[in-house]
């Protein structure tokens, strides 16, 4: 029970129905509940999110779905307010919501650039901004921002995604320094190639899969649960002396 008594908001966690392909957020929601946390799932996919929450409750966990567009300031204010009102506090925030569209610099439109920056960078900023006062009231806690190995390295097929995930990476360090005095730890997780509902279409293309597998020393894709385990560590008190750090979970890709 590593999160016993903790209240957490996890964004982009709608895909968490057992027996179906889970996203990183959905896997984290299950892991958090199993470790004793109350979980609030914030997502734009209301139907899927409510199904996940129903399954979490059937398992004996305490969970709540809240419709949330992470680019909306009012949306964030409402979800944080509802969480604190219903459960009395907020200890943990996981900024996980994301999008990913393949496009080189020349192929990237302004609209595509803005979409990536809004969901990833603006989403993490707004979530952190409005979570901080409640986490401070709770006596401190943990904010985990899900970046990517593409926030550290480049690739032949992405431009806006790299920029947005890089922004999340460095924003995390700024927030960590600014709120360490409040006992609020802020860290980033950098997943490598992971099979999720978002990545499955790309990985189903034989040439893409061949190229990806050729870059992974461990020779396989990550499971969402393996990324969620890293998020759990940073959310828990086991990482009480860790802030402003980058946890890379990538099968060795960035070691090359």
Q: Cβ of 94: how many Cβ atoms within 10 Å?
A: 30
Please give the sequence-ordered ranges of beta strands (E in DSSP) within 82-224, or none if there are none: 92-95, 141-146, 184-191
224, burial (CB in 10 Å: exposed 0-12, middle 13-18, buried 19+)? buried
Known catalytic residues are 161
Q: What's the longest Cα–Cα distance across the chain?
A: 51
Output phi, psi for 252, to 5 deg.
100, 5
Instruction: Report CA torsion sign: 240, 221, 12, 244.
Output: positive
């Amino acid at each position: 029970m590593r999160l016993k008594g903790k209240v957490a908001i996890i964004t982009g966690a709608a895909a968490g129905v057992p027996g179906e392909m889970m996203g990183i957020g959905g896997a984290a929601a299950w892991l958090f509940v199993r470790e004793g946390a109350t979980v609030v799932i914030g997502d734009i996919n209301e139907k899927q999110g409510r199904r996940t929450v129903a399954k979490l409750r059937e398992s004996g966990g305490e969970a709540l779905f809240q419709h949330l567009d992470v680019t909306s300031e009012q949306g964030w204010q409402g979800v944080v307010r509802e969480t604190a009102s219903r459960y009395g506090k907020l200890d943990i925030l996981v900024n996980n919501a994301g999008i990913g569209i393949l496009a080189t610099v020349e192929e990237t439109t302004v609209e595509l650039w803005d979409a990536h920056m809004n969901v990833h960078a603006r989403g993490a900023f707004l979530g952190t901004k409005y979570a901080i006062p409640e986490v401070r009231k709770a006596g401190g806690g943990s904010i985990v921002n899900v970046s990517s190995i593409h926030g550290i390295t480049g690739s032949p097929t992405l431009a806006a995604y790299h920029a947005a995930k890089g922004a999340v990476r460095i924003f995390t360090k700024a927030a960590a320094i600014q709120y360490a005095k409040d006992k609020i730890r802020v860290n980033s997780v950098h997943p490598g190639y992971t099979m999720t509902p978002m990545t499955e279409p790309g990985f189903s293309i034989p040439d893409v899969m061949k190229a990806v597998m050729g870059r992974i020393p461990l020779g396989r894709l990550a499971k969402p649960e393996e990324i969620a385990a890293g998020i759990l560590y940073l959310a828990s008190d086991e990482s009480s002396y860790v802030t402003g750090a980058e946890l890379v979970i990538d099968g060795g890709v960035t070691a090359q």
